Structure 1
Amino acid sequence: MSDRSEGTAPFPAHLVREDLRDFAGYSSARTSAPGVPASIWLNANESGEASSADPGGANRRYPDPQPPALVEAFADLWATTPGRVVVGRGSDEIIELLVRTLCRPGGDGVVVAPPTFGMYAVSARLHGVPVHEVPQVDDGVRFTVDTGALATRARETGARIVFVASPGNPTGTVVPLRDLAALVEAVADRAVVVVDEAYGEYAEQRSAVALLEEHPTLVVLRTLSKAHGVAGARIGIGLAHPDLATVLRRVQAPYPVPVPVARLGLEALAPAALEATRRRVLQTLRLRDVVVRRLREVPGVRAVYATDANFLLVRSDDPGALLHTLASAGIVVRDLRHQPGLHDALRITVGTADEMTALDTALRETTA
């Protein structure tokens, strides 16, 4: 059930696949007996005894599909209601859920703005859903997402989802909130706009979560994999209209959040951990400025793009040689040469102070 706030406009049901609008989903051991004050659970065929690998029995039972404490913590963090929160196995799962829920296999479609995160297209193609591209504008200093062209393309193709990463990966581009709002309004009768803010902690612009109440067809993705430093736990969330969030949970596979993962997520969202994350972000931004200046001194580096994320997009006259230099020092960066329009580009993550010192030392080899 959704917990739609009084006065919130409904989500347009026609955007959900017709065959899933009344889909109840799998009735799991933790959802099949709601409200029962149970003390003995004999409905899931679990082991009656704890494993020797887990003598305390913390993991003997199947987990709640959406752990209430974790959902509440995310809702508190984003000043929203629990009914808007869908927790998944990283943002990747939320992307897949959205494609599965909104797009008919073999029909509809998604619109993306390359160069961008590859999972949007991967998820679409795995479901037989067409992918329509509106390339970003590259002026040699920064990339710009043409939201007007995205809206036009969505309307021309009948696409059901428009994916916008802000900050973008690998571009580092932030899309202004006013442009995002205009895009959502322009396609509200036919498509959902998904704003992926995986790197949002590093950006000065406030989150698109601020637009959720006024825009039922907006979804915002966030993750604990980047600034929060728990990528190995695979925790991502979708923040959506309660009606859409309800459908996404029904479509989701059972038990998406393991017990140890939920615990780690709660620890990462505790006040002390959030304060530590803010300090790490500030340190990363300081180091990023230093690395930008250093890279611009490297022979053959033609461009270091403006970024609002924890990485840098770099164009080089000889990216292969730069890759080799760094690899010789044990440093792995992202090779982007296979992506359209990025045949000479690398992406470098801003790591720790020690890692950036090692990067600087390796770069000096190119100027020696």
Structure 2
Amino acid sequence: MNVLDLARAEIRALQPYSSARMEAAGGRLMLNANESAWAPVGDTGHASNRYPEPQPAALLDALALLYGVRREQLLVGRGSDEAIDLLVRAFCRAGEDAVLVQPPTFGMYAVCARIQGAGVVEVPLGEGFALDVDAVLAALTPAVKLVFVCRPNNPAGRDVLRADIERLAAALAGRALLVVDEAYVEFADEGSVADLIDRHDNLAVLRTLSKAWALAGVRVGALLADAGVVALLRRIMPPYPLPQPCVDAALVALSGWGQANVRLRVAVVRKQREAMRAALARLPGVREVLPSQANFLAVRFADADAAMARLLAAGIVVRDVRRHPRLGDALRITIGTPEENRRVLVALKSPQARRPRAASAVPGGAA
């Protein structure tokens, strides 16, 4: 069974929109897209009066080299969030199909499914927030078309063994597409599983430039998958997903000196992560600091309200993850600069601050 047999038949048969830029190969005088002939005031060489390439060739080349895949196995878009949405729309029929997630996990998987009218099957992570492959397979039904695995996990921080990904991909062959979200993999000890795509056509990997590459405001992400899956998603993708200034910023970050800078910053984050874990564990009122392979720490407090109040009183905002299963006493703290991390520790040692009013839970959860 080909992985595309799992996709919606109407999407496979869809005649995609053909944008003016897609039909402009080899042109020099562009009069086919009803664009302005003049650049806007303040344009700094981005050619902002022209539509950008739907899939910018230079960016595809740079990311394909970085991730070790072929260009036809790569789709770029607005962060990995767009790829999640495209996958759900392409593979899940409203009212019939479903996705499978392992809470606690990134909330957008379920949000995109519910927007599409697809079901959500929840299989909680196992002991120590480890992926439970047996439980996932036991819960699988014919309705499940996508299985999302977040590695390292957000918000708990634990990584997933490569052997577990391989076992799950093999077991899901012909049954579901395995989507591995590697938003934080640059901070982990084990590298990407993208090299497994050639062996498993039902494996897709999500990557982003938002975290380690410091481009959260630029919104560039990638889906790495079988060429047939990439081609299918291009059928339903908006014609111009990435603004040219965002593409230009990404190319600078992916340059030789940009990559060297990222390696240095990731090393600092990893070192600070371990230092913060040890320092937080010594603080009164801290029950546990969960092991993390990401750029954050999930911290259990005896009184999370009081901890949040101390931090807010110092002007420090962390993520309240208490709505997630088995994290009812936890706050998620991003690893910042050494000075920012010092301020967190000072704030948590400060005298009791006035507790903030309880905030309503935000559905889904953020990056």
Tell me if TM exceeds 0.5. yes
**1:32 is matched with which residue: 23, 30, 38?**
23
The aligned amino acid for 1:279 is: L
What is residue 4 of structure 1 aligned with on the other side? none
What is residue 341 of structure 1 aligned with on the other side? 326
The yes-or-no answer on 1:185 pairing with 2:185 is: no
The aligned amino acid for 1:205 is: E
Query: How far has the Cα of 1:242 moved from its partner?
Result: 0.4
What is residue 356 of structure 1 aligned with on the other side? 341
Stretches of 4+ moved more than 6 A in 1? none
2-side partners of 1:267 and 1:160: how far apart?
A: 37
Query: How far has the Cα of 1:71 moved from its partner?
Result: 0.5
What is residue 153 of structure 1 aligned with on the other side? 139
**How many residues get paired?**
352
1-side partners of 2:252 and 2:45: how far apart?
A: 20
SS in 2 for 1:110: strand
What is residue 358 of structure 2 aligned with on the other side? none
The aligned amino acid for 2:40 is: S
Query: How far has the Cα of 1:55 moved from its partner?
Result: 6.9
SS in 2 for 1:171: coil
Query: How far has the Cα of 1:26 moved from its partner?
Result: 1.2
The yes-or-no answer on 1:165 pairing with 2:150 is: yes
SS in 1 for 2:217: helix
1:304-315 correspondence runs (5 A): 304-315=289-300
**1:143 is matched with which residue: 118, 129, 132?**
129
SS in 2 for 1:59: coil
SS in 2 for 1:195: strand
The yes-or-no answer on 1:22 pairing with 2:13 is: yes
CA shift digits 1:117-162 (9 cap, x unpaired)? 0000010000001000000124xxx3111122112222x2520000
Query: How far has the Cα of 1:225 moved from its partner?
Result: 0.3
Distance 1:323 1:157, change over 3 A: farther
2:94–2:118 Cα contact (<8 Å) kept: yes
1:308-323 correspondence runs (5 A): 308-323=293-308
What is residue 107 of structure 1 aligned with on the other side? 96
Question: What value does the CA root-mean-square deviation take over the aligned residues?
Answer: 1.5
1-side partners of 2:65 and 2:177: how far apart?
A: 24
Q: Indicate the percent of aligned positions where both proteins have the same amino acid.
A: 45
Unmatched 5+ stretches in structure 2: 353-367
2:169–2:202 Cα contact (<8 Å) kept: yes
What is residue 13 of structure 1 aligned with on the other side? 4
1-side partners of 2:68 and 2:326: how far apart?
A: 39
The yes-or-no answer on 1:230 pairing with 2:215 is: yes
Query: How far has the Cα of 1:343 moved from its partner?
Result: 1.6
What is residue 6 of structure 1 aligned with on the other side? none
Query: How far has the Cα of 1:359 moved from its partner?
Result: 1.1
99-108 or 50-59, which deviates more: 50-59
Query: How far has the Cα of 1:182 moved from its partner?
Result: 0.7
The aligned amino acid for 2:220 is: I
The aligned amino acid for 1:24 is: Q
The aligned amino acid for 2:75 is: V
- Please give the TM-score of this superposition, normalised by the length of structure 1: 0.93
CA shift digits 1:53-87 (9 cap, x unpaired)? 32757111101110000001000111211001100
Distance 1:11 1:69, change over 3 A: farther
1:11–1:244 Cα contact (<8 Å) kept: no
The yes-or-no answer on 1:59 pairing with 2:48 is: yes
2-side partners of 1:237 and 1:74: how far apart?
A: 8
1:336–1:345 Cα contact (<8 Å) kept: yes
**1:256 is matched with which residue: 219, 241, 254?**
241
What is residue 160 of structure 2 aligned with on the other side? 175
Query: How far has the Cα of 1:323 moved from its partner?
Result: 0.3
Distance 1:299 1:84, change over 3 A: same
What is residue 284 of structure 2 aligned with on the other side? 299
1-side partners of 2:59 and 2:10: how far apart?
A: 30
What is residue 112 of structure 2 aligned with on the other side? 123
1-side partners of 2:305 and 2:142: how far apart?
A: 38
Distance 1:57 1:145, change over 3 A: closer
- Please give the TM-score of this superposition, normalised by the length of structure 2: 0.93
